[in-house]
Amino acid sequence: MNKFTYFAATALSCSLLFAEEGVPATQTLNAAQEKSHWELSATTSAAYYPEVEHHRGSSHVTGISGPYDGIEAIAEFDAAYTLPFLRGDDEFTADNHVTFSAGLEVSPITVAPVASITVSPIAFLELAIGGTAGTGWNAFDMFQGMAAYNAAKPEYKDLTPFAHWYLYGWASGCFMFDLAALWEGDWHHVVATATYKAGYQKLTGTDSDVWLWQATDGLASGWIYEQEYFIGYQMPLMLSMIGVGTTLSGHYQSSDFGDYSSSYKGDFMTIDIWPMAEISLDKNDKLYVLLDFEARRSFHEKYKDSEHEPLMTYSGREWIFYTLGFQWKHLF
């Protein structure tokens, strides 16, 4: 799963409802009735990664060691159909809905259909289920889309596209709050979300405990979780939102990593802290900018390369500046 895409999509999907909060229920209901049930969109995400060398030892902070360690780009095309669902006449239920979404995620090294169903039973809660099934390939012998770990080399060996699949199914709940719901006004939108997402991921056709998907190595089949907390300020300006969020993610069970589960610490929780900004270019286009500071594994041994990581011994957290990300969403 593309990490940056998850941060932007999750942080901002719940916030789409904030604009309606604080509006009288009758106005919200009338607006909802006039709005088209269909929404077609294209989302393009890109990320730049500076070089940050690994320093061994217990938990510590490591600075940038070089200007470039990689770039990432991915696009997703979605169609969503929204229907009223258990709507009432009060401000908490006037916009209740269910949304069916389907799309296609495309990167230079992977392709993956995606689908989800989202239900909003009350103004401050969204429940969703979804899934994806993707496959990948190697581009220019430089960028790997899908590979299985071979400890004997060690290396990540490319898998045959369309013969092997990355599968991911998930369920989530998102609680939302907007101060403007209690104190009406365009400048009173102090917003917050809390999201919990649980899912199962698997790479088919391989017995390897560790594998790679979308150029992200050190992955394993099993049950995984993602917690996200976001607080922001929404404004009636071109710079329409600023905020900061944190994401906690990992495996429920260390044993998902098999022989590497103990020394590699398979249940390690990755922590990301990401200030962000939303820029409303026009009514159909939004640009999101995100800085991501991450706590990754630190190791006891001197670091060699990503291929040796599963064979190394976890010793703490290493805080780094991870990426600068951009996302552009266009509504058709």
Q: Cβ atoms within 10 A of the Cβ of 134, count?
A: 23
Residue whose entry in the numeric block shows the structure tokens 């289920």: 129
| Distance separating alpha carbons of residues 249 and 238, to the nearest angstrom | 32
Predicted confidence (pLDDT) at residue 1 exceeds the cutoff of 80: no
Let me know: does 39 contact 13? Beta carbons within 8 Å: no
| Cα 157 versus chain centre, distance | 26
Predicted confidence (pLDDT) at residue 29 exceeds the cutoff of 50: no
Provide the pairing of β-strand 60-61 with 314-331: parallel
Q: What is the reported pLDDT for 122?
A: 93
Q: What is the reported pLDDT for 50?
A: 98
| Cα 73 versus chain centre, distance | 14
Q: What is the reported pLDDT for 15?
A: 45
| Distance separating alpha carbons of residues 259 and 30, to the nearest angstrom | 59
Residue whose entry in the numeric block shows the structure tokens 């991450």: 294
Let me know: does 146 contact 136? Beta carbons within 8 Å: yes
| Distance separating alpha carbons of residues 123 and 24, to the nearest angstrom | 13
Which helix (H) or strand (E) segment is 202 a member of?
strand 189-203
Q: What is the reported pLDDT for 89?
A: 86
Radius of gyration of the chain (CA): 21
Instruction: Name the pTM for this structure.
Output: 0.90
Virtual torsion, Cα 43, 49, 55, 58, nearest 10 deg: -20
Task: Write the class of the CATH domain 3-331.
Answer: mainly beta
| Distance separating alpha carbons of residues 144 and 213, to the nearest angstrom | 8
Q: What is the reported pLDDT for 310?
A: 97
> Residues 6 or more apart from 21 whose CB is under 8 A from it?
91, 123, 178, 180, 181
| Distance separating alpha carbons of residues 206 and 223, to the nearest angstrom | 17
Alpha helices by DSSP H, 229-305: none
Q: What is the reported pLDDT for 209?
A: 96
What confidence tier does 38 reach under pLDDT thresholds 50, 70, 90? very high
Predicted confidence (pLDDT) at residue 269 exceeds the cutoff of 50: yes
Q: What is the reported pLDDT for 35?
A: 67
| Averaged pLDDT for residues 116-139 | 97
| Distance separating alpha carbons of residues 194 and 183, to the nearest angstrom | 21
Average pLDDT in the chain: 91
Nearest C-alpha neighbor of 8 from the set 328, 238, 330: 328
Q: Quick one: what percent of the chain has pLDDT higher than 70?
A: 89
Provide the pairing of β-strand 285-299 with 270-282: antiparallel
Provide the pairing of β-strand 239-251 with 143-144: unpaired
Tell me the domain boundaries of the chain: 3-331
- Residue 65, classed as helix, strand or coil, is coil
Predicted confidence (pLDDT) at residue 26 exceeds the cutoff of 50: no
